Amino acid sequence: QKEVEQNSGPLSVPEGAIASLNCTYSDRGSQSFFWYRQYSGKSPELIMFIYSNGDKEDGRFTAQLNKASQYVSLLIRDSQPSDSATYLCAVENTDKLIFGTGTRLQVFP
C-alpha cells in the first residue's frame, strides 16, 4: 500500500512565527513531491513542488526533501492569519498523485 502520512493537527502558531509541516511517504521510487493549500470550502491550490533533495524557496515558503529518509516538509516563514488552511502533501506514484490526509494550520494574531 503506497502511503503518504501527515499529522492532522491542528498546528497552532502565532502570527510572525515559522510554521513547519511534515510529510512522510512509503514508496522509495517516488520522484516528485507537491504541497497544496486548501481553504475551507475551496479546492486545493498548488503552492510548491520539489523534485531534488535539499531546499527550494519561493517567497515565504520553503520545501525540503530528503529522499533517503522519505521525508518532505514545508516551512512557512512570517506566518499570517491568511495562511490558516489545510496543507496537503502529495507524492507522485506511477503517473498519479497520492495525497496525505492534510495538516490543519491555524495562525493566531
Partner 1 sequence: SAVISQKPSRDICQRGTSLTIQCQVDSQVTMMFWYRQQPGQSLTLIATANQGSEATYESGFVIDKFPISRPNLTFSTLTVSNMSPEDSSIYLCSVELRSYEQYFGPGTRLTVT
Per CB under 8 A, 11 contacts partner 1 = no
Q: What is the tally of helices (H) and strands (E) in the chain?
A: 0, 11
For residue 55, the minimal CB distance to partner 1 (Å) is 19
Looking at 17-25, 65-73, 75-83, 94-102, which segment touches partner 1 (CB under 8 A)? 94-102
Per CB under 8 A, 71 contacts partner 1 = no
Per CB under 8 A, 100 contacts partner 1 = yes
Q: Cα torsion at 69, 11, 6, 98 (round to 10°)?
A: -110
Q: What are 33's three cell numbers?
A: 513531491
